Amino acid sequence: MEDTLVPIVVVGILFLGLPWIIFHYVTQWKKNGSLTVEDENLLDEMHVLARRLDERLGTLERILDTQDPAWRPRTADRTRDEEWRRDN
């Protein structure tokens, strides 16, 4: 009797328990996979803050360029900065 009970329990765990656990967590993941309203609001605030900081940095760079044109080293990044200024 005990010799047949162990394989039945193992088969039950493998074919019933394990898929149930996997499907349970997959459905939980799909249900909670999207952003909440609070997360979206936080991302919007961070985006606005990043824009403001980017504008401030651009303003400071323009002021420094007018006061001292050689304040930053001449590198390949210079062309990227000039393209950025042209676009904005």
**CB 72, CB 78: distance < 8 Å:** yes
CA distances from 21 to 10, 26, 29, 30, 31 (A): 15, 9, 12, 14, 15
Question: Residue 79: is its pLDDT beyond 70?
Answer: no
Q: Express each pLDDT in 19-47 by its tens digit.
A: 889 899 888 888 877 778 898 999 999 99
**Two structure tokens written together for 40:** 């979206």
pTM for this entry: 0.47
DSSP state of 68: -
> What whole-number percentage of the chain has pLDDT above 90?
28
**What type of residue is 86?**
R
**CB 76, CB 83: distance < 8 Å:** no
**Two structure tokens written together for 77:** 């990044």
Query: What is the number of H-type helices and E-type strands within the chain?
Result: 4, 0
Domain residue spans of the chain: 1-34, 35-72
